[in-house]
Amino acid sequence: MTHSTLRIAAAQIAPVWLDRAATTAKIVEWIGRAAGEGAQLVAFGEALLPGYPFWVEHTDGARFESALQKTWFAHYVDQAVDIEAGDLRPLCAAAAEHAIWVTLGIIERDRRRGQSVFCTAVQIDDGGTVRSVHRKLMPTHEERLVWTPGDGHGLQVHDWRGWRVGALNCWENWMPLARSAMYAQGENLHVALWPGSARNTEQITPFLAREGRSVVMSVSGLLRAEELPADLPEHDRLRAALPAVMANGGSCIAGPDGQWLASPCVDREQLLLAEIDLQQVRAERQSFDPFGHYARPDVLELSVDRRRRFGAGFADGHLPD
């Protein structure tokens, strides 16, 4: 009988907000800390690299042709992650050095899509290979002013150390069909990425665990106005407009019975650690397995399109570099 245990870590940290290089260095440091605690997988919050767009809600972000909003957006795009350019290499190297799986929320810029950015969850395996890049299907509310809707390409789970690991961004975790796409692939370790608020995580995390009969990690970030880097464009206007606390964390981990393995943590940087056992997943699925013995594919069936969409097709079969 296969008996697979893991030590996992939710890294609740604050970014060096909207500074890709400095935030990358901080994430590398915390990857090392997690490995030092014996973790074999570490996860970080939504959009952590280089940061969540907190300014939009508090600075009249829907104002059309606002010079101020254009300035901040241009800076955001400049600091976004270009995977093809190698912006994830330091993180891949850290994952390989410490033999640890890394799940991370980034703001991704795809050179083929111009200057638009995606809210993306990346999975980096313990050999340093990027295994999947999942772009958030639907940005929420004011996020739509700065993020582009993604596609189904990254709705993938990964076999690793006996587990099947998947991730969704923030309110994707409320989308029944997005969750079902993960369950249908046998997911049993789910990482839910959040920008940072206990109100997002404290109720949904045990629910997701109980519904999927999976281990669920909710991983959030932190940010206080006093932590804004002084060299941000229009720093003083941002500092005056933003609330004292934009993200208070709320990271937590629930087992497949919906019980806490690590209850929500707020207001501090913290590694939340848990030992998980695949045998507990198997035991909980005795009564309910959402795409196993409790499924009715003859009545209910989900269709998922995982093609990467670019908006243009070229007769020679090649996309521009």
Q: Are 61 and 27 in contact (CB under 8 A)?
A: no
Is there a catalytic annotation at residue 26? no
Residues 15-35: b if buried by 16+ CB within 10 A, e if exposed? bbbbbbeebbebbbebbeebb
Residues 37-52: b if buried by 16+ CB within 10 A, e if exposed? eebbbbbbbbbbbbbb
What is d(CA 198, CA 9) in angstroms, rounded to the nearest whole number? Answer: 18
| Banded model confidence at residue 188, pLDDT cuts 50, 70, 90 | very high
| Banded model confidence at residue 1, pLDDT cuts 50, 70, 90 | very low
* Tens-digit pLDDT profile for residues 139-165: 999 999 999 999 999 999 999 999 999
**Backbone CA torsion sign across 271, 277, 283, 285:** positive
> Of these residues, 119, 136, 172, 252, which one is catalytic?
136
* Tens-digit pLDDT profile for residues 62-111: 999 999 999 999 999 999 999 999 999 999 999 999 999 999 999 999 98
Confidence (pTM): 0.95
Q: Percent of the chain having pLDDT more than 70?
A: 98
- Using the structure block, give the residue that is written with the tokens 């499924």: 295
For helices 204-212 and 176-183, the axis angle rounded to 10 degrees is 40
Please, what is the average pLDDT of the chain? 95
Domains in the chain: ranges and CATH: 5-284 (3.60.110.10)
> Of these residues, 92, 119, 170, 265, which one is catalytic?
170
Neighbours of 113 (CB within 10 A): 14
Q: Are 189 and 164 in contact (CB under 8 A)?
A: yes
- What average pLDDT does range 121-137 have in this prediction? 98
Half-sphere exposure of residue 39: CA atoms within 13 angstroms, side-chain side? 24
Q: Are 262 and 283 in contact (CB under 8 A)?
A: no
| Banded model confidence at residue 237, pLDDT cuts 50, 70, 90 | very high
DSSP 36: H
3 state DSSP class of 87:
coil
Is the pLDDT higher at 248 or at 3?
Answer: 248
> Of these residues, 26, 46, 119, 172, which one is catalytic?
46
- What average pLDDT does range 236-255 have in this prediction? 96
Is there a catalytic annotation at residue 92? no
Neighbours of 90 (CB within 10 A): 15
Is the pLDDT higher at 252 or at 314?
Answer: 252
- Using the structure block, give the residue that is written with the tokens 């056992």: 277
What is d(CA 46, CA 116) in angstroms, rounded to the nearest whole number? Answer: 18
Is there a catalytic annotation at residue 136? yes
